[in-house]
Amino acid sequence: MASKPTAGDLQIITRIAVFRGLKPETVEHIIAPATAIMLSPQDCLFRQGDPATAFFIAINGWVKLYRITQAGEETVIHTLTKGDSFAEAVAFTGSRYPATAEAVSDARVVRIPADHIVRCIRESPDIALAMIASTSQHLHHLVQQVEQLKAQSGVQRVAEFLASLAPSNQGPCVIALPYDKVLIAARLGLKPESLSRAFAKLRSVGVVVHASHVAVNDIARLRQLAADDRGAIRGAFRC
């Protein structure tokens, strides 16, 4: 069910990359028709190939973007959470969604209609420049993902993923996995069995998995492992 965004929603919305550099009154005009949507796990926001009728901002929870290959397999492109915007580029070009967006947890998402965005752009071209900058940021993220898949071992990808969720930069901590291990594996370009092997190998550096929580003895060591040259750690980890 859709509702008007709350004051808390608006605080998150106005900070996203798309709106940086725009005047407050311009942002208010853009988000005037916005609606907030509550999602349950597996609820679909839009499907690959659907006409792009809106762009979205995640307020809380997790949403995955994925494509279905010609072989019928699901390829996860990105996972999104608080403060992430998505589908803005296709919203103002009038094309079709290139991927499917599906909730993987209870989530709250704000929807802004595409036709309203187009009208706003015609009134204020600065909005288009802001959206181009946001699209560039998304492209940079995808390039980083490709680089990670090419340059990092499976163990390093898992280490970096865990480090990105850690609440501190050093010392021990307990990390709550944000979604199930099958999705984590897909997000990191691994098979589920490869993810399990990577977790097993990380025990030697003080990483212990307890169901949906991971205890880390030294997060700084984990970050260093993720950043090390792949060849330098090949002798310690083979995956």
Fold of 2-149: Jelly Rolls (2.60.120)
Cβ pair 36, 107 in contact under 8 A: no
Instruction: Show pLDDT as tens, one digit a residue, over the chain (239 residues).
Output: 689 999 999 999 988 878 877 888 888 999 999 999 999 999 999 999 999 999 999 999 999 999 988 888 889 988 999 999 999 888 878 789 999 999 999 999 999 999 998 888 888 877 777 777 767 776 766 677 666 666 688 899 999 999 999 988 889 999 999 999 999 999 898 999 999 999 999 999 999 999 899 999 999 999 999 887 555 445 555 54
The structure tokens listed for 18 are: 């798309």
Q: How far is Cα 114 from Cα 205, in angstroms, rounded to an integer?
A: 48
Domain ranges of the chain: 2-149, 152-233
Topology of the domain comprising 152-233: Arc Repressor Mutant, subunit A (1.10.10)
